[in-house]
Each structure stands twice: as C-alpha cells, then as structure tokens.
Amino acid sequence: MPKLTYCGHSCVLIESKDGNVIIDPFLTGNPLAARTVEDIPKLSAILLTHGHNDHVGDAVKLSVRDGAPVIATYELAIYCEREGAKIVDMNIGGRAVFDWGEVRLVPAWHSSSFMTESGPIYTGMPTGIITKIEGRTLYHLGDTCLFSDLKMIAERYGPIDVAMIPIGDHYTMGPEDAAEARRLIQPWMAIPIHYNTFPPIKQDPWDFVKLVTEQQGEAKALKPGEWMSY
C-alpha cells in the first residue's frame, strides 16, 4: 500500500515499496510546508503539474541531490534540465512506465510559466498528473478549473483511488467547483489542496468536506505533515 504525505499547498510525497516520488515540491519558502528538503527521503522521481513557482519549488535541488528525474511537459522539463536537473520530458495524454510505477499527464485549464528576475519563462501547458503506484491510482489535478472532461479522464484512466483537488479559489477552483469536480471523478477519497498558503486562497477545507459528504462521497482534509495509506 502506498503512503501519501500532504506537505502543504499542492505538495504530496508518495512512498511505496517500489520507490518514492514527490509532486509539486514547493517546500522552501512555503509558509505551510510541513517538510524541509532535508526531511524528504531519497526519491525516484519529481513530478511537476506546471511551471508556476509555487509548484516547481525545490524540484531541481531534489533532482540533483538524488539523481532522480524531473518529469513534466517538454518545455518545463527542458527548463529544469538547463538548471541542472535530470529530466524525463513528456506531454499531455502520454503515459510513461518506470520501475516505481506509471505516470500520465492529462489536461488542466490554467496557465504555466516560471517567473525569474528578468521575467516569465514559458513552460508549456499546465497538466494534471495521474500516477499508478503499487496498483493504486492517484490523480493530482494541478491548478485546474472545473471542466467536463474530468469525467472522461477519470472513466478512461481510473478508477481513481485518490483525487487531490485544489479548493483555494482565486487562481483555481473554489470549494463548490471542487466538489463538482470530485463528483465527476468519483474517487475513493478526495483530498483538498492549494488553500491557506497565501491570503487570496484562504479557505476552510471543511466547507469542501461538507459538500462532498452531501454527495455521499469521501473527503479528508489532511493537515500539512499528515499522512494516509491508500
């Protein structure tokens, strides 16, 4: 059974007998981070949903430390490679199989660039990420808005065991749209992400949990640092 640890914002660490991976490792500079780079065990891969700085975070540092690839869309992967990371470049709709599990990039409605002192660098399309590890499927929605293809994605690549869904509003879905996204995906468990890190995305995650409960679904708001097996 894989174990996931919510590290705050959109960061999740997945540990399994086949290897450890992290998605969107925004640890340094994240006011809610429950882990530092030093706390993260040796990784087999670093997965990125898109190029925004609150998702790329410590990706290059972790890649260099562990010799593990950053897996992301072509443009974002190439940016990370130029910064010193090992990479596996992919694109939307594609699946890649590794010794620790599978990853597929799926559409997400958002934007994607990495901000530097001299302006933004284009980092391709934003994505959601579906991982299959020890036979269990986790869907990290990235920073998407609500869109009807979430249902098709879940039907085609599911069943989804865990869906990590942004609820912060302002930059992504808010709780109401996130609950509708969950209804379309029908995961065994929904976990809210991307809230309370910065003032514009302040939310009470219990609003989302309550809406999901009214749909007869399961949701769990993990505190940063909290973990569960799935």
Residues that bind Mn ion (CB under 5 A): 52, 54, 143
Residue nearer to Mn ion on the CB measure, 133 or 181: 181
The answer to whether residues 46 and 56 touch, using CB atoms and an 8 Å cutoff, is no
φ, ψ dihedrals at 108, nearest 5°:
-145, 140
Residue nearer to Mn ion on the CB measure, 52 or 136: 52
Between CA 80 and CA 189 the distance in angstroms is: 32
User: Which one of 15, 89, 143, 207 is in contact with Ni ion (CB under 5 A)?
Assistant: 143
Question: Is residue 9 within the footprint of Ni ion (CB under 5 A)?
Answer: no
**Residue 177: contacted member of Mn ion, Ni ion, none (CB under 5 to 8 Å, by partner type):** none
- Minimum Å distance from CB 200 to Ni ion? 12
Reading across the β-sheet that carries 3-8, which strands appear in turn?
86-90, 69-73, 45-47, 19-23, 11-16, 3-8, 227-229
Q: Which stretch binds Ni ion (CB under 5 A): 8-16, 32-40, 44-52, 193-201?
A: 44-52
Question: Is residue 52 within the footprint of Ni ion (CB under 5 A)?
Answer: yes
Question: Is residue 177 within the footprint of Ni ion (CB under 5 A)?
Answer: no
Angle at 32 between CA 29 and CA 33, to 5 degrees: 65
The answer to whether residues 164 and 182 touch, using CB atoms and an 8 Å cutoff, is no
What is the binding site for Ni ion (CB under 5 A)? 52, 143
